[in-house]
Amino acid sequence: MKQILVKKDILKSNDEIAKKNREAFSQKGIFSINMLGSPGAGKTSVLEQIIKSLKAEVNMTVIEGDLYTTKDAERIENQGVQVIQVNTGGGCHLDASMIEEAIKYIEIKDVDFLIIENVGNLVCPASYDLSEDMKVTVLSITEGNDKPLKYPSMFQKSEILIVNKIDLIEHTNFSMDELYNDIKSLNENIKIFEISCRTGEGINKLSTFFKEKIKDKRRNI
Ligand SMILES: Nc1nc2c(ncn2[C@@H]2O[C@H](COP(=O)(O)OP(=O)(O)OP(=O)(O)O)[C@@H](O)[C@H]2O)c(=O)[nH]1
Ligand SMILES: [Mg+2]
């Protein structure tokens, strides 16, 4: 596993770098997602499930964003998937220059699906384009259904919302009806998947959705 500590190139704007990365990914037919959500929402757990379900058919690479440790990258490496750890050294989000740096260490030519796990944070990461095809936010039942209205930006900018830990719903006062109402008032086109990484519920549907997106991207090279 490669581990890099990145310093920002303050001369280039985030969007310029993201545009360049996006062109490179598109030319190679790489479908990429930027996974966002609070610390502990289950981003790495969702990744582990998606990898288990798709790795026989899809060539996946993961960029793991974390402040300091390699804990999540080790979990991904245990799944037998190429992973690059980006440590932000305390920074609360990834930016496009970090992705630009990370992909220097990736054998990118055979990659079909690039998954970027952002730093766990419901606010800052939403502002940075990482050249992804879509932002995917993970919200877990234990965080409460009020989070979209309290932290709207990430939910407004995401194409996908994964509601994780549905196995725990009966132990909480989480209202799925309120969540759907709130989220649709922020982003009427967002697609919602209800899943549990613990029981496996909903994982097939989510993986099939990504598989179709990966195929579409390949077709459009
Ligand atoms: N009951 C239950 N627990 C879950 C589920 N998904 C994840 N967890 C647990 O939630 C905790 C956090 O999961 P992670 O996957 O590490 O969360 P994360 O969003 O990657 O966390 P950070 O990278 O630190 O932001 C772990 O203890 C998981 O085992 C689920 O569907 N149900
Ligand atoms: Mg994680």
Transcribe 26-66 into DSSP letters.
HHTT-EEEEEEESTTSSHHHHHHHHHHHHTTT--EEEEEEE
pLDDT at 109 over 90: no
Sign of the alpha-carbon torsion through 174, 125, 52, 58? positive
Q: Ligand 2 center to residue 220 CA distance, Å?
A: 31
d(CA 53, CA 150): 33
pLDDT at 111 over 70: yes
Give tens-digit pLDDT for 139-155.
999 999 999 999 999 99
Residue with the nearest Cα to atom 9 of ligand 1? 42
Ligand found nearest the CA of 38: 1
The reported pLDDT for the residue numbered 98 is 95
The arithmetic mean of pLDDT across residues 27-36, rounded, is 96
The arithmetic mean of pLDDT across residues 68-89, rounded, is 96
Q: Ligand 1 center to residue 165 CA distance, Å?
A: 8
What is the percent of the chain where pLDDT is above 70?
Answer: 97
The reported pLDDT for the residue numbered 7 is 57
> Count of CB atoms within 10 A of residue 198's CB?
14
The reported pLDDT for the residue numbered 8 is 59
The reported pLDDT for the residue numbered 45 is 98
Give how far the C-alpha of residue 122 lies from the chain's centroid of Cα atoms, to the nearest Å. 12
Testing ligand 1's pocket by substitution, the residue of 36, 44, 45, 123 carrying the most ligand atoms inside 8 A of its CB is: 45
pTM: 0.95
Ligand 1 pocket member 92 (CB < 6 A): no
Residue with the nearest Cα to atom 29 of ligand 1? 45
pLDDT at 12 over 70: no
Testing ligand 1's pocket by substitution, the residue of 94, 197, 201 carrying the most ligand atoms inside 8 A of its CB is: 197
> Tokens at residue 162, please?
């994964």
Angle at 37 between CA 25 and CA 97, to 5 degrees: 40
Ligand 1 pocket member 121 (CB < 6 A): no
Give tens-digit pLDDT for 185-207.
999 999 999 999 999 999 999 99
> Which of 1, 3, 25, 159 is CA-nearest to residue 96?
25
The atom of ligand 1 lying closest to the CA of 72 is: 23
Q: Ligand 1 center to residue 17 CA distance, Å?
A: 31
The arithmetic mean of pLDDT across residues 62-91, rounded, is 96
d(CA 215, CA 209): 10
**Residue, of 13 and 85, whose pLDDT is higher:** 85
